[in-house]
């Protein structure tokens, strides 16, 4: 980026110099957020319209990678905001002391209540296994059925990816002490474990596996963007684990005011209306125009599973060790 900047300075002279005068807000997020078809470009344009700043969205891998990255960089980080953690990681992140309280209150349209002083939610969804109904005839309706099926699945690594971690917590929330048995059954079904969601979903789209761990809203993308009705999310009797994606301000940021105004923008309609058809998740505030039909909720509110953030951290470490033990057999 520095090279580009100096190149641009040489090329454009005063124009670039003017651009550099603006304050810079650096947001660490995950890869698919900033991709051309993700929310990034729209969010950047909408926020920069009013902030008089340069918003830099920097992708640092998948969700769980954001926190590792922040810990690796410690107090030296350039990041002002981190966007893309979920409730399974917030307690850890808060304990690291790298996150500043946001001091913002808001009402959110979610199946759960929100009172985290450090993080604000920006979207949410349910994890689910997605399949192509033209290729998979016997759709499993539970983990138990998935285990006895002859389907191949791809999942994400819980250490680097929030969906991967979500699945870990899902099995934990649904089966508790019996989780190891489920993983032992799933293990032979897993074609591979990818580091991020993009890679796994790409493999699914290329036809390399039958099912991929994704979201109940993933088919909405295919319906709206591609008019493809063949992709479906399998409904599981155990219920579906929720993911609430959040953002927070980095402690010691050199742009605390700007960071706070970004978080306020994040829960406003300008940001929220972009989310459904770019990030393919439910917004935390109903957009003014309502949600497209393709977003009809397949999971009843009482089937929503979520381990509270303060318990998730402790459960995560033990579950992860168990997961590694079972899957490395």
- Tell me, what DSSP letter sits at residue 238? T
228-258 per-residue burial string, b: 16 or more CB within 10 A, e: under 16: eeebbbbbbebbbbbbbbbbbbbeebebeeb
How far is the C-alpha of 57 from the C-alpha of 309, rounded, in Å?
Answer: 26
Q: Shortest distance, CB of residue 221 to another protein, whole angstroms?
A: 14
Q: Is residue 195 part of the contact set for another protein (CB under 8 A)?
A: yes
> Count of residues binding another protein (CB under 8 A)?
47
- Please name the helix (run of DSSP H) or strand (run of DSSP E) that holds residue 256, with its range, or none: helix 256-266
Q: Is residue 135 part of the contact set for another protein (CB under 8 A)?
A: no
Task: Name which of residues 44 to 73 contact another protein (CB under 8 A).
Answer: 58-60, 64-65, 68-69, 71-73
Residue of 44, 48, 145, 199 that binds another protein (CB under 8 A): 199
* Residues 57 and 33 sit within 8 Å (Cβ to Cβ): yes
Q: How far from chain centre, in Å, is Cα 222?
A: 18
Selected range binding another protein among 1-9, 82-90, 224-232, 308-316, rule: CB under 8 A: 1-9
Secondary structure of residue 76 in the 3-state scheme: helix
Per the structure block, which two tokens stand in for 311?
């318990």
Q: Shortest distance, CB of residue 187 to another protein, whole angstroms?
A: 8
Residue of 126, 143, 201, 265 that binds another protein (CB under 8 A): 201
* Residues 244 and 305 sit within 8 Å (Cβ to Cβ): no
Give the β-pairing of 120-132 and 231-234.
Answer: antiparallel
Selected range binding another protein among 117-125, 207-215, 218-226, 258-266, rule: CB under 8 A: 207-215
Q: Shortest distance, CB of residue 40 to another protein, whole angstroms?
A: 13
Q: Is residue 251 part of the contact set for another protein (CB under 8 A)?
A: no
Q: Which is nearer to another protein, 157 or 172 (CB)?
A: 157
Residue of 191, 242, 258, 285 that binds another protein (CB under 8 A): 191
How far is the C-alpha of 100 from the C-alpha of 87, rounded, in Å?
Answer: 16
Q: Is residue 328 part of the contact set for another protein (CB under 8 A)?
A: yes
* Residues 62 and 162 sit within 8 Å (Cβ to Cβ): yes
Q: Is residue 192 part of the contact set for another protein (CB under 8 A)?
A: yes
Task: Name which of residues 145 to 164 contact another protein (CB under 8 A).
Answer: 155, 157, 159-160
Residue of 63, 196, 219, 248 that binds another protein (CB under 8 A): 196
Q: Shortest distance, CB of residue 310 to another protein, whole angstroms?
A: 20
Q: Shortest distance, CB of residue 328 to another protein, whole angstroms?
A: 3
Secondary structure of residue 242 in the 3-state scheme: strand
Per the structure block, which two tokens stand in for 24?
């810079």
């Amino acid at each position: 980026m520095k090279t580009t900047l100096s190149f641009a300075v040489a090329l454009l002279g005063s124009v670039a110099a003017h651009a550099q005068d603006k304050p810079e807000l650096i947001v660490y997020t995950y890869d698919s957020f900033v991709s051309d078809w993700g929310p990034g470009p729209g969010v950047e344009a909408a926020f920069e319209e009013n902030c008089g700043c340069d918003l830099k969205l920097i992708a640092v891998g998948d969700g769980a990678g954001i926190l590792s990255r922040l810990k690796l960089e410690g107090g030296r980080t350039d990041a002002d905001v981190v966007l893309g953690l979920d409730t399974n990681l917030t307690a850890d992140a808060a304990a690291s002391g790298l996150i500043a309280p946001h001091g913002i209150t808001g009402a959110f349209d979610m199946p759960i209540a929100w009172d985290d002083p450090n993080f604000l939610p920006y979207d949410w969804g349910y994890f689910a296994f997605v399949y192509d109904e033209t290729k998979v005839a016997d759709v499993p309706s539970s983990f138990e059925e998935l285990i006895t099926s002859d389907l191949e699945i791809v999942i994400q690594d819980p250490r680097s990816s929030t969906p991967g971690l979500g699945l870990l917590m899902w099995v934990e929330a649904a089966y508790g002490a019996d989780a190891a048995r489920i993983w032992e059954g799933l293990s032979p079904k897993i074609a591979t474990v990818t580091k991020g969601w993009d890679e796994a979903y790409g493999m699914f789209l290329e036809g390399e596996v039958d099912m991929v761990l994704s979201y109940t809203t993933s088919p909405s993308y295919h319906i709206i963007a591609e008019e493809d009705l063949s992709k479906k999310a399998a409904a599981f009797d155990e219920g579906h684990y929720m993911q609430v994606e959040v953002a927070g301000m980095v402690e010691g940021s050199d742009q605390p005011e700007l960071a706070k105004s970004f978080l306020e923008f994040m829960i406003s309609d300008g940001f929220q209306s972009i989310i459904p058809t770019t990030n393919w998740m439910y917004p935390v505030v109903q957009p003014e125009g309502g949600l497209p039909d393709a977003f009809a909720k397949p999971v009843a509110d009482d089937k929503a599973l979520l381990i509270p953030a303060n318990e998730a951290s402790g459960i995560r470490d033990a579950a992860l060790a168990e997961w590694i033990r079972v899957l490395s057999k």
